[in-house]
Amino acid sequence: MIPPVANRFVAGEGPAGALEHVRQLNGRDVKAIVNLLGEHYDDREDVDADAREYRELVEDIARSDLEATISVKPTQIGLDLGESVFRENLEEIVETAADRGVFVWIDMEDHTTTDATLDAYEELARAYGGGERSAETRSSSDRWADGGVGVCVQANLKRTRRDVERLADVPGKVRFVKGAYDEPSEIAYTDGEAVNREYEALLEFAFEQFEDGIAVGSHDPAMIERAIELHEEHGTDFEIQMLMGVRNDAQFELAEEYEVYQYVPYGARWKSYFYRRAMERKENLRFALRAVLGR
C-alpha cells in the first residue's frame, strides 16, 4: 500500500490504480502518460517482467476508453544488459502498442544511454511514425494519439542541439525537458540559467523546423509561455506535459486551451521516485513532513 503522502506523486502500486487516476484526469480534459516505475535492472527476469507489464498495460488502455499513452525507461527494459535486449523489448512493446493504437514514449536517462536510446527511437519512428495521420484526423489535435513513438531530449546536454537537428527529419515526436540527471560539466550545462537559455533555444528551433510532434515537458511558467508564443508565431502544434502532483491546478487550467498530458507513475518501486519529488522543492518536503508528522 502506498501511504497517502506519496499518493500525490504516484498513482498506486498496480495498473488498476493508475488507470483509475487517468479516468479522473480525462474527466478534466487532461490526457495521461503512464509509467511503470523501474530503472537500471541487471536481472533479465526484472527486465522481462516490466516489458510484459507494459504490453499488458497497452492492452488495458486499448480495451478502455481512456486517453493514455505509456512511457518506458531504456534501462528498465534491458539497456544495462545490452543494447540488443533493450531493442528487442522496446520493439515488442512498440509493435503491440501500434497494433492497439497506443502511443509509446521513451524516457531519456543519463548521457551514457543517449546514443542507444536515440538510435532505437529513430529506427522505430521510421517504422511506426509519430502516430497514424489519416486525412480525417490530420487537422485534429488528437492525430498523434493513435500509435507511434516519441523520445525525450535534455536541454542540459550540450550535444542535444545536434541531436534535435537530426530528429527534425524523423517522423516521431520529441519531448523537450531540462534534464533530470547530474552530468559532468564537460558535456553538460550545469548552471540553471544556461540550461534555461538552451531550453528556450531548443524550443525556438523545434517550433521553426518541426512540422509537428513537439512536447514541452516542463513546469516552468516562463518556458510554457514561450512555447505558447512560438505556437502562435509559427502555427506549429504542441502539447504540454507535466508530472503528477506538480502544478496540478495549472495543468487543469492549461487543458482548457491546450493539449495537456500528465505523466502518471505507478508501481511497487515508488519509494525512490517519491523521495526525489519530495526533496526537489522545499514546499514538497514540507508537505511530505507534515503528512508524516500528521500536522
User: Catalytic site residues?
Assistant: 107, 175
According to the binding rule CB under 6 A, does residue 241 interact with ligand FAD?
Answer: yes
Distances (CA, A) of 96 to 39, 99, 116, 208: 21, 5, 21, 33
According to the binding rule CB under 6 A, does residue 108 interact with ligand FAD?
Answer: yes
DSSP three-state, residue 257: coil
Q: CB 76 → ligand FAD: shortest distance, Å? A: 12
Q: CB 138 → ligand FAD: shortest distance, Å? A: 25
Residue found under cell 502511443: 103
Among residues 244, 230, 183, the alpha carbon closest in space to that of 202 is found at: 230
Q: CB 182 → ligand FAD: shortest distance, Å? A: 11
| Contact stretch for ligand FAD (CB under 6 A) within 112-120, 132-140, 166-174, 242-250 | 242-250
Among the listed residues 60, 67, 80, 107, the single contact to ligand FAD using CB under 6 A: 107
Rg over CA atoms, the chain: 18
Contacts of 277 (CB under 8 A, 6+ apart): 9, 243, 245, 246, 284
According to the binding rule CB under 6 A, does residue 251 interact with ligand FAD?
Answer: no
Among the listed residues 31, 87, 178, 226, the single contact to ligand FAD using CB under 6 A: 178
Instruction: Mark residues 206-235: x for contact with ligand FAD by CB under 6 A, - for none.
Output: -----------xxxxx--------------
According to the binding rule CB under 6 A, does residue 180 interact with ligand FAD?
Answer: yes
According to the binding rule CB under 6 A, does residue 166 interact with ligand FAD?
Answer: no
Q: CB 246 → ligand FAD: shortest distance, Å? A: 4
59 vs 158, which CB is nearer to ligand FAD? Answer: 158
44 vs 222, which CB is nearer to ligand FAD? Answer: 222
Instruction: For 263, list phi and psi in degrees, rounded to 5.
Output: -85, 120
54 vs 263, which CB is nearer to ligand FAD? Answer: 263
Residue ranges in 27-66 that form contacts with ligand FAD under rule CB under 6 A: none
- Distance, in Å, from the CA atom of 16 to the CA atom of 210, rounded to the nearest integer, reads 36
Contacts of 194 (CB under 8 A, 6+ apart): none
| Contact stretch for ligand FAD (CB under 6 A) within 10-18, 81-89, 162-170, 175-183 | 175-183
| Contact stretch for ligand FAD (CB under 6 A) within 130-138, 173-181, 228-236, 285-293 | 173-181
Residue ranges in 117-156 that form contacts with ligand FAD under rule CB under 6 A: 152, 154
- Distance, in Å, from the CA atom of 186 to the CA atom of 171, rounded to the nearest integer, reads 31
- Distance, in Å, from the CA atom of 195 to the CA atom of 286, rounded to the nearest integer, reads 27
Grid cell in block for residue 213: 510532434
- The stretches of the chain forming alpha helices (DSSP H) are 15-26, 44-63, 83-100, 114-128, 160-167, 192-209, 221-234, 248-254, 271-280, 282-293
According to the binding rule CB under 6 A, does residue 158 interact with ligand FAD?
Answer: no
- Distance, in Å, from the CA atom of 74 to the CA atom of 234, rounded to the nearest integer, reads 33
| Contact stretch for ligand FAD (CB under 6 A) within 7-15, 87-95, 240-248, 287-295 | 240-248
Calculate the CA dihedral of residues 7, 270, 15, 33 and round it to 10 degrees: 80
Contact 235, 2 (CB under 8 A): no
Task: Name the residues that contact ligand FAD, by CB under 6 A.
Answer: 107-108, 152, 154, 177-181, 217-221, 241-243, 246-247, 263, 281, 284
